[in-house]
Amino acid sequence: MNQPGQLRDLSAPECWELLAGAPVGRIIWSTATGPEVVPVNFTSDGSTIRIRTAAYSALVQKVDAERVAFEVDSISETDHSGWSVVARGQADIRYGADDGPTPEPWAAGSRHTTIAIAVDHITGRRLLPD
Amino acid sequence: MNQPGQLRDLSAPECWELLAGAPVGRIIWSTATGPEVVPVNFTSDGSTIRIRTAAYSALVQKVDAERVAFEVDSISETDHSGWSVVARGQADIRYGADDGPTPEPWAAGSRHTTIAIAVDHITGRRLLPD
């Protein structure tokens, strides 16, 4: 019989390393009618997470100068092992040139706006195999 | 006509079907210091999403009678195709017997508390391959 796995906290360097290797994350922000979330591809450099989006997107309209969360995870359905990382910080919109590497958007359309999340808090957990 | 890299909105039945097949989702809630998120396994039945957690968890302390979001996605790094679904609704904590199927927790510890999300809004998008 499967025993449920143990959770272990990850260090900040471990979190950044796992974040850097993840293809897709989820940016999460609060609205008056509840939290919102959208999966995005991204870049990270150990202090800032960057996303590219369209200037008219809901993201850009809502997250500028707001605190957001950014989540990545990788969890195996087979043995229930895996990890998750949540980075938190202030999002800032940069319409023109940015000072860091930005990701190539996967979705079609004009996506020349960068959202930069200045991460001030990063936590993560590893779920050990059954 | 479908164009590569295009986003297509999914119908509610499509969203529920994709949700039902996903092993892990992310429950998202708002706090005074920003949004929070945690990946969880879950059950769904076309109207309610159920999660099992510990009675003393941050989730239980914060989400009772609050609006939450629940996100699932599956996105291929190879061809950038995939989909995402976001369900929204009110979360209610059920400490005792529940009226629906609850998931077997993957993480260790006493997790006898059910969070039931009564979904009133579900949306999703498919990203077509490059």
Domains located in chain B, CATH noted: 7-127 (2.30.110.10)
Task: Tell me the residues of B at the A interface, defined by beta carbons under 8 Å apart.
Answer: 3-7, 23-24, 26, 28-30, 33-39, 67-69, 71, 73, 75, 77, 80, 84, 86, 88, 105-109, 127, 130
Helix-strand-coil split of chain A, %, nearest 5? 10, 50, 40
**What ipTM does this complex have?**
0.88
Q: Is A26 helix (H, G, I), strand (E, B) or coil?
A: strand
What does the pLDDT look like over A94-103, one tens digit per residue? 876 666 777 8
pLDDT given for residue A2 in this prediction: 46
Residues of chain B with Cβ-Cβ distance to A7 below 8 Å are: 107-108
The predicted pLDDT at position B62 comes to 83
| Amino acid in the structure at residue B82 | G
The secondary structure element, H or E, covering residue A38 is: strand A34-40
B56-84 confidence digits (pLDDT tens): 777 888 888 889 999 999 998 888 889 99
Measured between CB atoms, which of A6, A71, A106 is closest to B127? A106
CB pairs under 8 A between A and B: 99
Q: Is the pLDDT of residue A26 over 90?
A: yes
Radius of gyration of chain B (CA): 16
Residue of A nearest to B70 (CA): A37
C-alpha distance from B47 to closest chain A C-alpha (Å): 18
Element spanning B115, H or E: strand B113-127
How confident is the model over B39-51, as pLDDT tens digits?
Answer: 999 999 999 999 9
Instruction: Judge if pTM exceeds 0.80.
Output: yes
Q: Which helix (H) or strand (E) holds A73?
A: strand A67-75
